[in-house]
């Protein structure tokens, strides 16, 4: 059987550009989870995947196997349609999750966010939270449910119970120069989200000089992979493409970013984190305070009535099918476009929504915050 093939054989197969079967991918993930795979072997497989890539079916199989390496969270039936999350591919000063999770909870959502640590030069949400004395990012599924019942949101890390395969692979990607692998990013993010048993998910895919992907074309490819796999996992998924050419907000550094997120929640601080967080909130379909409106959730990232389309953003490349322009050219404080599932079946076509940034139509673009 393919699942009984030795790990060196599977590494060699992917090294040579061959396709791995679902059983072979499951065998690799089992070795990662139960500790039978050596770190050198895992690193070799990561590099083979980074250099040779994976097709859509392989990426989906890897995501499913990583999600199945731990427990799938179970929630009360009354929370159906309320479970939402957001994930960013990372940048500098990106503290949006710290403000967005409690904001969504205040709207009646349940946000069981399984987050990650820093990769490469990008900051990790868990690292920021651990700057708070006594804060614990390790919580059991039972503790997570208790927290959600009391406050509506929690941000935790991978553990032996939650996506344990990702915990191993996540750490090794950082030391094997495989952080920017599209299938590995897709599987890492979505295996955690699959374990959360979400109703809706929005992904903030960043591009620019301080992002993992420098160009909008490469970020678009990742966004389309994330949306496609997310939909196959049964999660209503949308991805926002956003610029990362400068830090978000005015503070960089774990404790400083926590303080800025708190200022944002209190109505102060830089306008940039709040502006960056508006789209991930509304893209869950529940960011407008609609609470249990399951129709809004199912409709994905656009819940308002259609408006005339603004000019396409000047990204230097044409928008491809599935990308919807949202804002005016040159406004770097705005999010340029959204990647949606194909407009077929139960997924409705995208609709325009007005720019949430504090300027009026026809006014000059906002200057980036210092």
> Catalytic amino acids?
85-88, 125, 173, 188, 192-193
Tokens 């065998």 sit at which residue? 27
Residue 256 CB-density burial (10 A; 0-12 exposed, 13-18 middle, 19+ buried): middle
Which tokens in the block code for residue 155? 């941000």
Alpha helices in the chain (DSSP H): 7-15, 22-34, 39-52, 56-67, 96-106, 125-129, 141-151, 164-175, 182-196, 216-232, 254-265, 271-283, 294-298
CA 85 to chain centre: 8
Kindly give the interhelix angle for 182-196 and 39-52, rounded to the nearest 10 degrees.
110
Phi, psi of 263 (to 5 degrees): -60, -40
CA separation, residue 75 to residues 78, 110, 145, 191, 233 (Å):
8, 10, 7, 18, 17
Strands 337-339 and 323-325: antiparallel
Identify the three-state secondary structure at position 217: helix
Distances 38 to 8, 41, 172 between C-alpha atoms, Å: 11, 5, 12
Residue 268 has a CB neighbour count (10 Å cut-off) of: 11
Quickly tell me which residue has 């893209």 as its tokens.
283
Tokens coding 241? 């493409």
Give the whole-angstrom CA distance, residue 100 versus residue 86. Answer: 8
């Amino acid at each position: 059987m393919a699942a009984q093939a030795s790990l060196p054989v599977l590494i060699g197969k992917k090294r040579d550009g061959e396709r791995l079967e679902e059983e072979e991918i499951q065998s690799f993930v089992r070795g990662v989870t139960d500790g039978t795979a050596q770190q050198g072997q895992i690193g070799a497989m990561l590099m083979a995947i980074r250099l040779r890539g994976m097709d859509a079916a392989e990426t989906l199989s890897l995501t499913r196997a990583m999600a199945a390496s731990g427990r799938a969270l179970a929630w009360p039936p009354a929370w159906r349609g309320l479970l939402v999350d957001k994930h960013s591919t990372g940048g500098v000063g990106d503290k949006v999750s710290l403000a967005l999770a409690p904001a969504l909870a205040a709207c009646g959502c349940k946000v069981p966010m399984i987050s990650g640590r820093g990769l490469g030069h990008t900051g990790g949400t868990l690292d920021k939270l651990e700057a708070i004395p006594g804060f614990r990012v390790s919580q059991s599924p039972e503790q997570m449910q208790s927290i959600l019942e009391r406050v509506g949101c929690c941000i935790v890390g991978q553990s032996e119970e939650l996506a344990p395969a990702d915990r191993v692979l996540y750490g090794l990607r950082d030391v094997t120069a495989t952080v920017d692998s599209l299938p590995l990013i897709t599987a890492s993010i979505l295996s955690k989200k699959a374990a959360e048993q979400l109703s809706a998910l929005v992904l903030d895919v960043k591009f620019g000089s301080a992002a993992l992907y420098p160009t909008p074309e490469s970020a678009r490819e990742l966004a389309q992979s994330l949306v496609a796999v997310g939909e196959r996992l049964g999660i209503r998924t949308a991805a926002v493409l956003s610029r990362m050419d400068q830090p978000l907000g005015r503070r960089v550094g774990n404790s400083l970013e926590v303080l800025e997120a708190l200022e944002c929640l209190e109505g102060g601080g830089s306008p940039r984190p709040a502006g960056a967080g508006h789209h991930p909130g509304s893209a869950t379909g529940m960011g407008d305070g609609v609470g249990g409106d399951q129709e809004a959730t199912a409709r994905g990232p656009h819940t308002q009535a259609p408006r005339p389309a603004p000019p396409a953003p000047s990204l230097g490349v044409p928008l491809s099918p599935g990308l919807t322009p949202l804002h005016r050219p040159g406004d770097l404080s705005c999010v340029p476009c959204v990647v949606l599932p194909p407009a077929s079946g139960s997924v409705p076509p995208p609709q325009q929504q007005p720019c949430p940034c504090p300027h009026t139509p026809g006014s000059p673009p906002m200057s980036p915050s210092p």
